[in-house]
Amino acid sequence: MPRLDKSFKFRFIGNFPEYESLKNEVLSITEDEWKKFTYRQETIVGHKDTLTVPLVFDHVKRSGFITHNNYGKFLPHLNSISKYLLSVGELNDIRRANIVLLKPNSFIKKHQDKGDFLEKTRRIHLAVTTNQWCYLTVEDTKQHFVAGEMWEIDNTGKFHSAHNEGDTNRIHLIIDVN
């Protein structure tokens, strides 16, 4: 039975078994693909140093199931993630998925995420590329993710931020499930 409580800030789920295949696919994303979608950088406070490749995301209505150009390319990986989550007793219906790159020596400033969609879903980060100077904070708790690890984060309505104090890109696949 999947966990339903959100009495944590960070919760380790496991190491994604098919991480290397996912990583190779993510690293094949072209510079043009990274630069194509600018909604997050231009609209969401503090995200100017990020690049996003949306897979499943409706930025207008924040609802529905809207797929983007790279969805088909990443669908086998999303299906594998869904099966893995189910196998370890987690919710696994992917409602939103974005690949987000945080540039070197940058951060996403402290902010709060709110809304009905986020209240009804669980936020999972899968670290694709990282370095030892990358971390997320939720309120007063700081957490570093190792590449290949999956973590659930409860940041809805809580102040949180992301930091990349290293000299390489940090890339996470961020999915919301219910």
Write the pLDDT tens digit of every residue in 132-147: 999 999 999 999 999 9
Give the number of domains in the chain. Answer: 1
Please give the Cα distance from 10 to 115 (Å, whole number). Answer: 20
Tracing tokens 């986020």 back to the chain, one arrives at 118
Here the CATH number for the domain that contains residue 64 is 2.60.120.330
Does residue 5 form part of some domain? no
Burial class for 10, CB neighbours closer than 10 Å (0-12, 13-18, 19+): middle
Lowest mean pLDDT among 59-68, 74-83, 85-94, 102-111: 59-68
Does residue 3 form part of some domain? no
Range of the domain at 136: 10-177
- Report which DSSP code applies to 4: -
> Which residues, other chains included, contact 160 with Cβ-Cβ below 8 Å and sequence gap of 6+?
110, 111, 112, 113, 136, 137, 138, 139, 153
Lowest mean pLDDT among 23-27, 69-73, 172-176: 69-73
- Report pLDDT for 28: 96
- Residue 87's H or E segment, with its range, is helix 71-87
Lowest mean pLDDT among 15-19, 107-111, 116-120, 143-147: 116-120
| pLDDT single digits (tens) 112-132 | 888 787 888 899 999 999 999
For residue 157, pLDDT over 70 is answered with yes
